[in-house]
Amino acid sequence: MKKWLLNWRLFSLFSVMALLLAGCGKPFLSTLQPAGEVADMQYSLMLLSTAIMVLVIIVVTIIFVYVVVRFRQRKGEEKKIPKQVEGSHTLEIVWTVIPIILLIILAVPTVSATFKLADVKPMNKEKRDKHTVVVNVRANLYWWEFEYPDYGIITSQELVVPTNERVYFNLKASDVKHSFWIPAVGGKMDTNTDNKNQFWLEFDQKATDKAGGIFYGKCAELCGPSHALMDFKVKPLPRADFDQWVEKMKNAKPVVTDSVAKEGEAIFNKSCIGCHAVSPVDKRPEQARTAPNLANFGDRTRIAGILDHNEENLKKWLKDPNSVKPGNKMAGTYGNLTDDQINALTKYLMSLKVE
Ligand code: CUA
Domain count within the chain: 2
Q: Would you state the pLDDT for residue 349?
A: 93
**Phi, psi dihedral angles at 230 (to 5 degrees):** -85, 65
* pTM for the model: 0.86
The CA R_g of the chain, rounded to the nearest whole Å, is 28
Q: Would you state the pLDDT for residue 257?
A: 85
Residue 77 maps to a domain = no
First to last CA, the chain: 64
Indicate if 218 and 307 belong to the same structural domain: no
Within the chain, residue ranges assigned H as helices are 3-22, 37-70, 89-117, 121-124, 205-210, 239-250, 259-270, 311-319, 321-324, 339-350
CA 242, 157, 40: angle at the middle one, nearest 5? 65
Tell which residue, 299, 276, 325, has the closest CA to residue 213: 299
Q: Would you state the pLDDT for residue 146?
A: 97
**Phi, psi dihedral angles at 163 (to 5 degrees):** -90, 165
Residue 46 maps to a domain = yes
Indicate if 280 and 229 belong to the same structural domain: no
Q: Would you state the pLDDT for residue 87?
A: 84
Determine contact, residues 161/135, Cβ cutoff 8 Å: yes
Give the C-alpha separation, 330 to 56, whole Å.
53
Residue 230 beta carbon below 6 angstroms from any ligand 1 atom:
yes
Q: Which atom of ligand 1 is nearest to the CA of 139?
A: 1
Residue 188 beta carbon below 6 angstroms from any ligand 1 atom:
no
Domain boundary among 183, 212, 241: 241
Residue 172 beta carbon below 6 angstroms from any ligand 1 atom:
no
Per DSSP bridges, beta strands 166-173 and 197-202 are antiparallel
Indicate if 165 and 266 belong to the same structural domain: no
Indicate if 164 and 284 belong to the same structural domain: no
Indicate if 329 and 185 belong to the same structural domain: no
Give the C-alpha separation, 140 to 222, whole Å.
13
Q: Which atom of ligand 1 is nearest to the CA of 219?
A: 2
**Phi, psi dihedral angles at 234 (to 5 degrees):** -125, 125
Tell which residue, 85, 62, 136, has the closest CA to residue 286: 136
Distance of CA 216 to the CA centre of its chain: 6
Domain boundary among 241, 274, 299: 241
Q: Would you state the pLDDT for residue 80?
A: 82
The secondary element (H helix, E strand) that includes residue 186 is strand 186-191
Determine contact, residues 220/181, Cβ cutoff 8 Å: yes
Indicate if 218 and 265 belong to the same structural domain: no
Cα(342) to ligand 1 centroid in Å equals: 28
Give the C-alpha separation, 304 to 327, whole Å.
13
Residue type at position 113:
A
Strand-pair partners of 202: 166
Indicate if 192 and 113 belong to the same structural domain: yes
Residue 60 maps to a domain = yes
Q: Would you state the pLDDT for residue 85?
A: 78
Indicate if 269 and 229 belong to the same structural domain: no
Indicate if 346 and 233 belong to the same structural domain: no
Q: Would you state the pLDDT for residue 23?
A: 62
| CATH code, domain with 121 | 2.60.40.420
Residue 221 beta carbon below 6 angstroms from any ligand 1 atom:
yes
Q: Would you state the pLDDT for residue 84?
A: 81
Indicate if 159 and 33 belong to the same structural domain: yes
Q: Would you state the pLDDT for residue 1?
A: 57
Indicate if 230 and 283 belong to the same structural domain: no
Q: Would you state the pLDDT for residue 110?
A: 96
Q: Which atom of ligand 1 is nearest to the CA of 222?
A: 2
Q: Would you state the pLDDT for residue 82?
A: 77
Residue 13 maps to a domain = no
Cα(283) to ligand 1 centroid in Å equals: 26
Indicate if 158 and 284 belong to the same structural domain: no
Each residue's pLDDT tens digit in the chain (355 positions)?
A: 567 777 888 888 888 888 777 666 788 988 899 999 999 999 999 999 999 999 999 999 999 999 999 888 888 888 888 788 788 899 899 989 999 999 999 999 999 999 999 999 999 988 888 889 999 999 999 999 999 999 999 999 999 999 999 999 999 999 999 999 999 999 899 999 999 999 999 999 999 999 999 999 999 999 999 999 999 999 999 999 999 999 999 988 878 888 899 999 999 998 898 889 998 998 888 888 999 999 999 999 999 989 999 999 999 999 999 999 998 888 777 778 899 999 999 999 999 988 7
Residue nearest to atom 1 of ligand 1 (CA): 178
Residue 137 maps to a domain = yes
Tell which residue, 174, 173, 205, 202, has the closest CA to residue 187: 202
Residue 254 maps to a domain = no
Residue 124 maps to a domain = yes
Task: Provide the residue range defining the domain that includes 306.
Answer: 259-350
DSSP 158-169: EEEEESSSEEEE
DSSP 65-131: HHHHHHTSPPTT-TT--PPP----HHHHHHHHHHHHHHHHHHHHHHHHHHHHHT--HHHHSSS--TT
Q: Would you state the pLDDT for residue 180?
A: 97
Domain boundary among 211, 241, 271: 241
Give the C-alpha separation, 275 to 255, whole Å.
20
For 77, other C-beta atoms within 10 Å of its C-beta total 10
Q: Which atom of ligand 1 is nearest to the CA of 176?
A: 1
Residue 47 maps to a domain = yes
